[in-house]
Every structure is written in structure tokens, then in C-alpha cells.
Amino acid sequence: MKKGFTILEIIIVAVFASLLLILFFVQKQNIDAFERDEDRKTAINAMYYALEESFYKEHGYYPEFISEENIKVIDPKLWTDPSGFNLGDPKSSYSYEPANCKDSKCKEYILKTELEKEDTYVKYNRN
């Protein structure tokens, strides 16, 4: 009697292994997307707290535009979204929308980012 595997057994093992690999890669993509979303939220929160706790407290208004030039208290890397686009670039998932402005001094703003696995993450001025 010969020892070994039948063709049917090899096919079953190959199909099972393929399914496991597919499941692994789908889950990996989901985990990576959740991590990028968390990075986006972290950046928006850093911008928000820099605007509220630093810029507004010092100037008494919000700027018409924000960037690492006028908001220096946060890590410069946070201005760049996970796709590599800086806030202000039309392709960036980050946006800053000032409102109620006069002479480049604004009373309101909306900070937001488009997320992959959740709804848009939005922060409004608190003053």
C-alpha cells in the first residue's frame, strides 16, 4: 500500500489555506484603515486644541487660515494626512473652514476630516 495524500486531500487543504489568506488580507486592510482614521482624528484634535488653547487665548480670535507657520505648537507632521497631502491641499482629507471673519480675524471655524470606516469627524470652535 502506498502512503501519501490524494489529489482531493491536497485540493481541500489548498482551498482552506486560500480562504485563510483571503480572510487575513481583508482583516489587515480593515485594521490599517482604522489606524489611518485614528491618525486623522489625532491630527484634528491636535489642531483643535492648538487653536483653542494657544492661538485663541493669545489673540482673542481664530485665524482665517491655519498652517504650521501660524500654529507652531503642534508637531509639523500632523499637518499631513495619511495620504501625504497637507491641510489646505484640495486632495487632503483635512479641512479648516473659518466663518464670521473680518480683517482675517474669525469668530468661528469648523475642522474636519473624512474617515474611511466612520462618518466625517468634525470639531467646532468652542468660544
Chain segment 14-70, per-residue pLDDT in tens: 999 999 999 998 899 999 999 999 999 999 999 999 999 999 999 999 999 999 999
Structural domain harbouring 19: 8-124
Q: Is 91 contained in some domain?
A: yes
**117 inside domain:** yes
> What pLDDT does 29 receive?
93
**DSSP-H helix ranges across 51-75:** 57-59
The CA dihedral of 102, 93, 43, 76, to the nearest 10 degrees, is: -80
Assigned domain for 104 exists: yes
- Is 119 among the domain residues? yes
**What is the total count of domains within the chain?**
1
Which residues, other chains included, contact 38 with Cβ-Cβ below 8 Å and sequence gap of 6+?
none
Residue 1 belongs to a domain = no
In a domain, 12, yes or no: yes
Q: Is residue 3 part of a domain?
A: no
- Whether this model's pTM surpasses 0.85: no
Separation CA 108–CA 103 (nearest Å): 14
